């Protein structure tokens, strides 16, 4: 078996250190030099010839994060790495996975092409915005599920009247999976948007009175949808509302919206570094989940045990 080495891009340094520690390895040495104009130049500070290399980098904006990952992949291939696996805890641009109106880009496919063309042999990621994005890659892709992190946490809350809610119609399948596991009911928040990040109207389909409601989603950006859904759910007589979301993008007025909302707490993971602390935001780590997945890949064993 080839030696395993783990490296990190600048955007996921803290998470990569945790993953490497949980795997039982020290994070590899890599230097990302920059020219005066910002042009990046990655360099591995140790031999990776014949090694299976895992490069950890979330590709949330700015676009430098994606370019940095592609350059690291290219550098690893040119340094004669045996295999290069791009570990992308959060796959950015995944919301643009189809042509929902004329003359627009399918950005998720374009990014998949970039990473593939750079020379990646394998992709590992968590909770894609749309599962069908896996089909955009013509190479092995390990799609991990955040439920492995959230289910134990939710079980520990010991809520008697728990019910799950999808903040929009697109998240029904995700919420239903949780509801099925806990053997409880679910509701749906049907929303209509004027434009991106701006909600025109929303209504709750289902009964929430006297319930402890758990909103389930894959990412939270400005938190407008979550906060609006939480407000309407509480107006319908819910006992409490929490949100469980894998990727905390948290841009614009997200922190302000969350602090001023009726949400009891927002539970996210560390796939994206938290920009600032908030009394209502709790962060759970995905480090052990990814470390176990890397063990499974390098040991040629099944990763199905990681799924709930």
Residue 284, pLDDT above cutoff 70 = yes
Tally Cβ neighbours within 10 Å of residue 253. Answer: 13
Query: Which of the four pLDDT bands, split at 50, 70 and 90, describes residue 193?
Result: low
Query: Which of the four pLDDT bands, split at 50, 70 and 90, describes residue 195?
Result: low
Query: Which of the four pLDDT bands, split at 50, 70 and 90, describes residue 27?
Result: very high
The length of the chain in residues reads 308
Query: Which of the four pLDDT bands, split at 50, 70 and 90, describes residue 202?
Result: confident
Report the chain's mean pLDDT, rounded to a whole number.
Answer: 94
pLDDT at 100: 87
Q: Is 191 a catalytic residue?
A: yes
Q: Which CATH architecture has domain 4-145+288-306?
A: 3-Layer(aba) Sandwich (3.40)
pLDDT at 304: 86
Non-local CB neighbours of 277 within 8 Å, separated by 6+ positions = none
Domain boundaries, the chain: 4-145+288-306, 147-285
Contact 244, 176 (CB under 8 A): no
Residue 13, pLDDT above cutoff 80 = yes
Average pLDDT over residues 72-91: 98
DSSP state for residue 131 in the 8-state scheme: G
The CATH class that applies to domain 147-285 reads: alpha beta
Query: Which of the four pLDDT bands, split at 50, 70 and 90, describes residue 197?
Result: low
Residue 196, pLDDT above cutoff 70 = no
What is the model's pTM? Answer: 0.93
Residue 292, pLDDT above cutoff 80 = yes
Percentage of the chain with pLDDT > 70? 96
pLDDT per residue as tens digits for the range 148-160? 999 999 999 999 8
If you search the block for the tokens 């946490």, which residue do you land on? 153
Question: Distance (Å, rounded) from C-alpha 170 to C-alpha 148?
Answer: 21
Domains 4-145+288-306 and 147-285 share a fold: yes
Contact 285, 22 (CB under 8 A): no
Point out the catalytic residue in the list 83, 191, 228, 292.
191
Both tokens of 27, joined, read: 């994070």
Nearest to 182 by CA among 210, 205, 158: 158
Average pLDDT over residues 19-40: 96
């Amino acid at each position: 078996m080839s030696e395993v080495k783990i490296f990190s891009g600048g955007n996921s340094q803290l998470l990569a250190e945790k993953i490497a520690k949980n795997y039982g390895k020290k994070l590899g040495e890599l230097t990302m030099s920059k020219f005066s104009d910002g042009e990046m130049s990655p360099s591995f500070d140790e031999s990776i010839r014949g090694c299976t290399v895992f490069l950890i980098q979330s590709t949330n904006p700015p676009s430098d994060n994606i370019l940095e990952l592609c350059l690291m992949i290219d550098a690893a291939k040119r340094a004669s790495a045996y295999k290069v696996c791009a570990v992308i805890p959060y796959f950015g641009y995944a919301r643009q996975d189809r042509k929902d109106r004329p003359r627009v880009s399918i950005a998720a496919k374009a990014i998949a092409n970039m990473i593939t063309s750079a020379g990646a042999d394998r992709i590992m990621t968590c909770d894609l915005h749309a599962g069908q994005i896996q089909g955009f890659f013509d190479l092995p892709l390990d799609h991990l599920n955040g439920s492995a992190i959230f289910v134990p946490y939710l079980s520990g809350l010991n809520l008697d009247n728990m019910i799950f809610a999808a903040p929009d119609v697109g998240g029904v399948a995700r919420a239903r999976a949780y509801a099925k596991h806990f053997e409880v009911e679910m509701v749906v928040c049907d929303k209509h948007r004027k434009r991106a990040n701006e909600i025109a109207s929303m209504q709750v389909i289902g009964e929430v009175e006297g319930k402890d409601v758990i909103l389930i989603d894959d990412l939270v950006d400005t938190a407008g949808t979550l906060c609006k859904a939480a407000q309407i759910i509480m107006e319908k007589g819910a006992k409490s509302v929490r949100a469980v979301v894998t990727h905390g993008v948290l841009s614009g007025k997200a922190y302000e919206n969350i602090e001023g909302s009726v949400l009891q707490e927002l539970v996210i993971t560390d796939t994206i570094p938290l920009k600032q602390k908030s009394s209502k935001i709790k962060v759970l780590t995905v480090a052990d989940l990814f470390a176990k997945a890397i063990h499974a890949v390098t040991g040629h064993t099944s990763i199905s045990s990681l799924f709930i």
